[in-house]
Amino acid sequence: MTTKFKQIISGVLLAALSSLSVSALAQTCSDKNYLYHQAFPPGGESDVSARHQQIVLKKKCPAIDTVIQYKAGAGGALMWSQMNQLPGDGLNIIGVNLPHIVFQPLEGQVQYKTADVTPVFWFHYTPDLLVVPEQSPIKSFADFIKAAQANPGKLSLGGSGLNSANHAAHERLNAAFKVKTIYIPFKGTGDMATSVLGAQVDGAMTYVPFAITNKGRIRPLAVAMEKRHPLLPDVPTFKELGVDWVDGAYRGIAVPKSTPAEAKKRIFDQWAALNSDPEMLTLAAKIGFELVNVGVDKMDAFMAEKTKLYTESAKRLDFSKK
């Protein structure tokens, strides 16, 4: 075979592979705009996540737009109680959060049940993180446990919201390490940050992005991840400390219950492709989001596991029977 002939064959193969790649992408992309419904107002972590996805999705599917719409209220429940009224056309996508969609129905104050939500992909979580102010005499997790054991019911830990993910993490901390600390709920992360940075509370149960944003002003003590976070290499995981705790606030997408199976699969494939995009990986790492890939094939087992876990947490919070 001559060199020239080899070059011709190589060129034909490259063209064919390129054509297949474009064809595959075209099959994955919708032919109409997505409506991406958000249950929280602009500016929060859910919105930041959606904006990142919007940017990367436009790069992958330039012929369509992802239109972000907001229906915020009742901690997300306003959107989630109405999501099944949307057309199941494969174009309506709803941002959903854990443990919210388990906790809220257990509290009994919302117009939906966990089973009413149809998630198709969980794309990341913000890992639970225990922190203290930089000026705290507590220098390590061992110091924290020693102080908590010496002063039961005295150490105060802030968090965002009552009966929230932070509150549940606080109760889990107390139960796992057999200590008694006090939870101080704040309206949001901003209010909590002011008190933590000013040492008005002894510490906080929060998430990794809080430590990244406030680097040098707080001291992280332990993180709920499989491995140490690359931006927090000196912070041990709870698993290193003897507790199997890999958890936090999960974010994902759901669809109306009437959405056909093939449309669910297409949406899952599209969002899974976003999670493997180098730009998305970079954006997530900078903020502190830990990417996960829980799709339709793993959804039932994942939701069963998380529902059991958060139901147990709800019992510790004492609101599951209200």
- Domains of the chain, by residue range, sit at 31-124+249-317, 126-223
Tell me the C-alpha distance between 145 and 1, whole Å: 73
Does 22 have pLDDT greater than 60? no
pLDDT at 59: 92
Question: Left if phi > 0, otherwise alpha if psi is -120 to 50, otherwise beta: which for 123?
Answer: alpha
pLDDT tens by residue, 195-252: 999 999 999 999 999 999 999 999 999 999 999 999 999 999 999 999 999 999 999 9
Give the residue carrying structure tokens 């940050």.
193
d(CA 100, CA 189): 16
Backbone φ, ψ for residue 175 (5° rounding): -70, -40
Helix axes 278-287, 45-60, angle to 10 degrees: 170
Residue 123 φ/ψ, nearest 5 degrees: -105, -25
**Contact in structure between 117 and 256 (CB atoms under 8 Å):** no
pLDDT of 20 strictly over 80: no
The predicted pLDDT at position 14 comes to 40
Q: Judge if 31-124+249-317 and 126-223 fold alike in CATH terms.
A: yes
pLDDT at 35 over 80: yes
pLDDT at 188: 77
Residue-wise pLDDT for 115-147, tens only, equals 999 999 999 999 999 999 999 999 999 999 999
| Average pLDDT value over all residues in the chain | 89
What is the token pair recorded at 12? Answer: 């034909």
pTM of structure: 0.82
Determine the pLDDT at residue 319: 67
Side-chain-side CA neighbours of residue 186 (13 Å):
21
With vertex at residue 127, the alpha carbon angle to CA 183 and CA 313, rounded to the nearest 5 degrees, is 50
* Phi, then psi, of 263 in degrees rounded to 5: -70, -40
d(CA 184, CA 167): 9
Q: What is the mean pLDDT of residues 86-102?
A: 96
Q: From the options 3.30.360.10, 3.40.190.10, 3.30.1600.10, 1.10.10.10, give the CATH code of 126-223.
A: 3.40.190.10
Higher pLDDT, 41 or 51: 51
Question: Does 3 or 204 have the greater pLDDT score?
Answer: 204
Find the mean pLDDT for residues 80-89.
97
Number of H helices, E strands in the chain: 11, 10
Q: Domain spanning 31-124+249-317: which CATH class is it, in words?
A: alpha beta
